[in-house]
Amino acid sequence: MTAPAASWLDSDVPADNGFGLENLPYGVFSTQRDGRPRTGVAIGDRVLDLAGLTDDPVHATGSLNAFLALGPRRWQALRADLVGWLTEERHRALVEPHLVPVEEARLHLPVAIADYVDFYSSRHHAENLGHLFRPGGAPLTPNWLHLPLGYHGRSGTVVVSGTPVARPHGQRRGAADGPPTFGPSLQLDIEAEIGFVVGTPSPLGRPVALEELDQHVFGVCLVNDWSARDLQSWEYVPLGPFLGKSFLTSVSPWVVPLTALQAARIPPPPREVALLPYLDDAATAPWGLDIQMEVRINGHVVSRPPFGLMYWTPAQQLAHLTVNGASLRTGDLFASGTVSGPEQHQRGSLIELTWGGREPLELPDGSVRTFLQDGDRVSITATATGVHGGTVSLGAVTGRVQPPRPMP
Amino acid sequence: MTAPAASWLDSDVPADNGFGLENLPYGVFSTQRDGRPRTGVAIGDRVLDLAGLTDDPVHATGSLNAFLALGPRRWQALRADLVGWLTEERHRALVEPHLVPVEEARLHLPVAIADYVDFYSSRHHAENLGHLFRPGGAPLTPNWLHLPLGYHGRSGTVVVSGTPVARPHGQRRGAADGPPTFGPSLQLDIEAEIGFVVGTPSPLGRPVALEELDQHVFGVCLVNDWSARDLQSWEYVPLGPFLGKSFLTSVSPWVVPLTALQAARIPPPPREVALLPYLDDAATAPWGLDIQMEVRINGHVVSRPPFGLMYWTPAQQLAHLTVNGASLRTGDLFASGTVSGPEQHQRGSLIELTWGGREPLELPDGSVRTFLQDGDRVSITATATGVHGGTVSLGAVTGRVQPPRPMP
């Protein structure tokens, strides 16, 4: 890479806010003046209106899907154009009228989600949940070290950051083998995750190899996979999580191109067992990603999950997802699963942070939490180092817990 | 209902082929002469081209979704129009040019699937699978009698009947706690199911009550949820079925309106435990459906699953699916799960018919099956009694097993 170019915008960009030229993430926005949702690129404290600047209908559809479907060559070409437009003084007069202050932009769900798959790729998280959900048993199931476990979630309830989080109703296990009880979840939780957005589709019957991740995945976002643990623990045997998860999944509004994370690539942890060839990444360029995450409740940091310690990489997740011949569609979203590190303060969910609610968390404001209370505001943020050494921000995924809606 | 009207088409309709005026199912078709996929209605041995006849762009989109989104009033209005057009001689000259012989119609996936959910609503199937997957344990998990268990499947690999079924590759449990092996599935199976197609969406946070099924669900189709049992049994703990199912799910090309099945409504089996209010259907009009299914392998009937014995009804499935506030989208598909009755010859999957492969099935041609062999052709058909006492056919969902594709 060449040295970082300076933008003619520099004077307007707060120093190193994570949205400099090394990032250039894509989102969908509208303004009060122009209510049409359209594609924008975040730069500093502005949003560049691509629909207005380029007049390309691909950027005026209200989702990124049409652009993502164009594939890696076109992604890279537009990225090069963006750098040119934002650094060369001669473009300034043309570009400047299409820069919108970010506080005037209403951000929408960036991608029309096709299929949503949630993986379970943190060994620390899987072991913690194993201890809590199956006490006395082996914390890891026998398959865990051999494949990235995953399941399909509900794509219709994937929403953009900021959408209110209504506490869901559902069945909970009753006392002493009695019948279940019903009501608002008493164990509403978060799951701090990183999501991967598919741009290039693949046909039925053609598995995607480890080396092909960046031919298919356009970029990453933050995911909060809200979870009702009481609903989940009653329902999940034998078909897996369902209503305990399907009420809402929030994603951050900016999709950060994989290209912006090239400097964050690191080897994943050593593998404990030999992997089958389609998952064996020992001889491939690594797809661990050194991303630092932070989880806040009402502004207080409660966890700093280290994404770089994830056992299974997104390349392995994609290879596994397609090894049976399953096809990919533009807009497919696959998420990492909860990111938890080995330390207590690195756990990406409250059920882990409070060990099933038995060790309440004391917040700096003096209040304590086991699970989420009505009114709690959760924010997950993340950053990585960019190719020129600056900060690349993944932005934030936020949500505020609402009281349960009345049953009709 | 009034007496069945006679169609001016009668002379062309094979006697009681299940696609008379009592049925009128919707599909998407194209012809060699006009390759554009468009909406059609099956009548006798013809397809009525709705795009050509009505010039309504809703019928020219290549999926039923735009029509389904119009809601029950418009569904009923078009059905009344169809009966008029097909019975009143004065419409004949206008309608007849838009009738296409069914053998000239190429049938496409009728619905762009939004979310696909698969339930597990046959008690006999759940008990059989419990015996086979968890030998020695209780056949039903403690939650089974309290809620219709389900999980999300992959909507991107839902395909129309006739699509070839490539034998999927994947991981299988190794011998004696050793590492897993990899290869084409050795236990490729079928699951004979009925699917329900959502027309009217629902907003986040508004559960759909038992009484509202026909306000949201447009109609039904047949589903073959192809399953690789060896992949499934290795992967499914603790997150449920994933690659063992996600390679392909086939649906029949004709969506039969719920309206056409009103005479098939019967009470479901007696409930063994008291149900929570949102699932308690004792005082509501019943949504058991007396549909007779047949499963054929290479033309030989191997099973006759009785849908009328399903423990959980589609109304309960929909109420459960949404009780946590999850929204519905036009094009959502939820399937019943494998339909199995109490008798051996009523089981809707090979793993049940052959008791895990231990009791091979002898076909009338002298060959034996445990699981599917390359080249096998599977066909699932179903019929019910129409409102005038005739037969309503759900058509067929078929698929032929191909040899595994080479690994890339």
Domain CATH for A169: 3.90.850.10
Residues of chain B with Cβ-Cβ distance to A328 below 8 Å are: 156
Are B60 and B183 in the same domain?
Answer: no
Q: What is the pLDDT of residue A1?
A: 43
CB atoms within 10 A of CB B183: 13
CB B120 within 8 A of CB B146: no
Among B359, B154, B383, B353, smallest CA distance to B290 is for B383
ipTM score: 0.96
Last residue of a domain, one of B60, B83, B108: B108
B165-166 and B391-402: which strand pairing?
Answer: parallel
In a domain, B246, yes or no: yes
Q: Does B198 touch chain A (CB under 8 A)?
A: no
CA dist., res. A101 & res. A26, Å (int): 15
What is the domain count for chain B?
2
> Cβ contact (<8 Å) for B143 and A408?
no
Give A228's contacts in chain B (Cβ within 8 Å).
324
CA dist., res. A37 & res. A29, Å (int): 5
With a cut of 50, say whether residue B21 has pLDDT above it: yes
Distances (CA, A) of B240 to A47, A112, A241, A270, B220: 41, 25, 8, 27, 25
Tell which A residues from 261 to 280 touch B, by Cβ distance under 8 Å. Answer: 273-274, 276-278
Per-residue pLDDT reduced to its tens digit, B27-84? 999 999 999 999 999 999 999 999 999 999 999 999 999 999 999 999 999 999 999 9
Judged by a CB distance cut-off of 8 A, whether residue A368 touches chain B is no
Best of B65, B120, B125, B152 to disrupt the A interface (most A CBs within 10 Å) is: B152
The predicted pLDDT at position A11 comes to 56
Contact criterion met (CB < 8 Å) for B240 and A241? yes
State whether A94 and A147 are in the same domain: no
CA dist A388 and A22 (Å) reads 7
Nearest chain B Cα distance for residue A73, angstroms: 23
Residues A97 and A138 in one domain: no
Does residue A159 lie in a domain region?
yes
Pairwise CB contact (< 8 Å): B151 & A154: no
A45 lies in the same domain as A178: no
Q: What is the pLDDT of residue B9?
A: 83
Block means of pLDDT (10 residues each) for chain A, length 408 residues?
Answer: 67 73 97 97 96 97 98 98 96 96 97 98 96 89 97 98 98 92 97 98 97 98 98 95 98 98 98 97 97 98 98 98 98 98 97 95 94 98 96 98 84
Chain A residues with beta carbon closer than 8 angstroms to that of B237: 141, 143, 238
By CB atoms closer than 10 A (0-12, 13-18, 19+), residue B181 is middle
Tell me how far apart the alpha carbons of residues A289 and A349 are, in angstroms, rounded to a whole number.
20
B176 near A CB under 8 A: no
Mark whether A44 and A185 lie in a shared domain: no
Q: For residue range B382-406, what is the model confidence (pLDDT) as tens digits?
A: 999 999 999 999 999 999 999 988 8
Distance from CA of B105 to the nearest CA of A (A): 24
User: Average pLDDT over chain B, rounded to whole?
Assistant: 95
Q: Model confidence over B78-135: pLDDT tens digits?
A: 999 999 999 999 999 999 999 999 999 999 999 999 999 999 999 999 999 999 988 8
What pLDDT does residue B177 have? 79
Closest CA to B315 of B192, B203, B220: B220
B141 vs A contacts (CB less than 8 Å): 237-238
A122 to chain B: which residues are within 8 Å by CB? none
Helix (H, G, I), strand (E, B) or coil at A224: strand
Name the A residues in 84-143 with CB < 8 Å from any B CB. Answer: 114-115, 120, 133-134, 141-143
Residue A40: CATH number of its domain? 2.30.30.230
* Residue in the block written with tokens 């199956």: A134
Query: Residues A134, A101: one domain?
Result: no
Question: Looking at the domain assignment, is residue B408 inside a domain?
Answer: no
| Phi-psi sector, B208: left (phi>0), alpha (psi -120 to 50), beta | beta
Whether B196 contacts chain A with CB within 8 A: no
Number of C-beta neighbours around residue B281 at 10 A: 21
Same domain, B100 and B120: no
Same domain, residue pair B132 and B52: no
B232 among annotated binding-site residues: yes
What is the rounded CA–CA span in Å between residue A62 and residue A253? Answer: 13
Inside any domain, residue B157? yes
Does B5 fall in a domain? no
Tokens read off for A138: 């082996």
Alpha carbons A150 and A335: distance in angstroms, whole number: 9
* Domain boundary, last residue among B108, B132, B167: B108
Report yes or no: A292 at the B interface, CB cutoff 8 Å.
no
List CB contacts (< 8 A) between A153 and chain B: 152
Q: Which domain holds residue B156?
A: 116-402
For A308, the token pair is 């770089």
Query: Would the pLDDT of B1 be above 50?
Result: no
Give a yes or no: residue B4 inside a domain.
Answer: no
CA distance to partner chain A, nearest, from residue B378 (Å): 20
Residue A52's CB: how many other CB atoms inside 10 A? Answer: 17
Judge if B82 and B142 occupy the same domain. no
B217 and B197 in contact (C-beta within 8 Å)?
yes
Structure tokens at A350: 């409250």
- Are B158 and B37 in a shared domain? no
- Asked if residue B311 is part of any domain, the answer here is yes
Residue A25 and residue A156 in one domain: no
Contact A156 B206 (CB under 8 A): no
Non-local (6+) Cβ contacts of B337 within 8 A are B118, B119, B120, B121, B122, B125, B126, B150, B191, B193
Residue where one domain finishes, among candidates A76, A108, A140: A108
CA angle in degrees (0–180, nearest 5) for B326-B332-B334: 90
pLDDT-derived band at B5 (thresholds 50, 70, 90) equals low
- Name which of B403, B408, B407 is nearest B164 in CA terms: B403
Question: B98 and B126: one domain?
Answer: no
Tell me if A307 is assigned to some domain. yes
User: Which residue in the list B59, B125, B169, B216 is annotated as catalytic?
Assistant: B125
Task: Tell me which chain B residue has its CA closest to the CA of residue A170.
Answer: B324
What is the rounded radius of gyration, in angstroms, for the C-alpha atoms of chain B?
A: 21
Q: pLDDT tens-digit profile of B306-320?
A: 999 999 999 999 999
